[in-house]
Amino acid sequence: MAAKSFKVSVLSFVLCLCIAVTSVAAQDSDTDYRYSIDVDLTGNQVMIYKRDGNGEYTVPFKSFVCSVGEGTPEGRFNTTDKYDWRALFGNVYGQYATRITGSILFHSVPYTSTDKSTLEYDEYNKLGQTASMGCIRLSVKDAKWIYDNCPSGTSVNMFRNGEPMPLAKPEPIKIDVNDTKRRGWDPTDPDINNPWNVNAADKPQDSPAEQAEAEETEETAVSERKVSKRVAESTDVVIVNNTKVQEKEETIPDYNIKRIGVYSGNAYFMADAIDIEGAYYVSLPEIIDFLGEAGRNIQTPNVKGEGYIVMLDNTCSVTDSEFKKIIAENNSRDKKSVLLCFNGGKIKTPVYQYEGKNMFNIGIICSMAGLAINSDGQKLTIGDYTGI
């Protein structure tokens, strides 16, 4: 592979400590570059594109929230080196680093050491803001996705224009800085030792006094949650397009909020889920990620009819009478339902809202996608899980 070498400038050293000589990669004709990457330096957002039918990278596939720096360069580049851990400026370290150009990398939010429990949590809570020394900071999950799925030579386009991206920028999980048990870990890190991922039965036992306090707190929280929940105003895409539907109040049936593990394809996720009598409701962007790992790639969801119709592909259409019927049913009932269209099928399904996220029945969507889904009460397995 042709390459040229150059010395890292003093400015680049300050931006992100990646010392000595680096190489500029060209794309290898034998490598399958499935994705290209755009970075909106104004909006602190990364957009992953995949190929269309003509082989051009025009199909929006994933959206990541990030933190860039004032000195992050604009331009088109090709990725080069990858590192499980990389030393950064300021005597800190980043996980799953992928070099973009010179001293500029994609990497996780910094850690004070190569111990995964030493995350700089205050910096993590800045995701979505301009906060780095020049590199592109991501959650561990997103940095790992680029590390795993974008080989050296992947095209990266970085720009400042302020125009909205085709997919909404995700809202990052916020870390409670007073939570001494979990604040040192990235909430998205799939490491089995991550306390964000540990099931309640596996957690270290608190003292009796701590257990009593925790039970009282949870009982109060559950009671408050069951009083009333606001139905989703619209799906996530409608909110981005500033389209809203009529707000209603409803009481959700008996339910539990769980943080569950989801196994799909060759990936493992953690997700918040509403458990209503054994049916799990998860946010639509997360469900799309799960299905993508299982080989069911969904393009940008198309929302029509004031948010009452959600099209996950273009394989079915909705008649005027069907649209009028779903509108009439929503006007006469105390909960929000949408007509979900996917894989040639149409089905009416309720949508609930939890912490600002619109939650869809994952079992229904997997069934429409032709994927089996199994649950043991603590985790979900979608399709034929092949392991990480």
Catalytic residues, by residue number, are 107, 135
SS3 of 225-238 = HHHCEECCCCCHHH
Q: Are 339 and 364 within 8 A, CB to CB?
A: no
Nearest of 109, 77, 79, 81 to residue 93 by alpha carbon: 109
Letter for the amino acid at 148? D
Question: Could you tell me the CA-to-CA distances from 214 to 6, 210, 221, 305 in Å, in that order?
Answer: 57, 6, 10, 44
**Phi and psi torsions of 131, nearest 5°:** -145, -10
Q: Are 166 and 47 within 8 A, CB to CB?
A: yes
Grouping H, G, I as helix, E, B as strand and the rest as coil, residue 222 is helix
What CA–CA distance (Å, rounded) separates 195 from 187?
Answer: 8
Nearest of 260, 242, 251 to residue 350 by alpha carbon: 251
The alpha carbon dihedral of 361, 364, 370, 376 has a sign of: positive
Question: Could you tell me the CA-to-CA distances from 378 to 64, 202, 272, 325, 369 in Å, in that order?
Answer: 27, 12, 12, 37, 23
What CA–CA distance (Å, rounded) separates 96 from 136?
Answer: 12
What CA–CA distance (Å, rounded) separates 116 from 183?
Answer: 11
What CA–CA distance (Å, rounded) separates 242 from 16?
Answer: 38
Q: How many Cα atoms are found within 13 Å in the side-chain-facing hemisphere of 16?
A: 30
What CA–CA distance (Å, rounded) separates 152 from 142?
Answer: 17
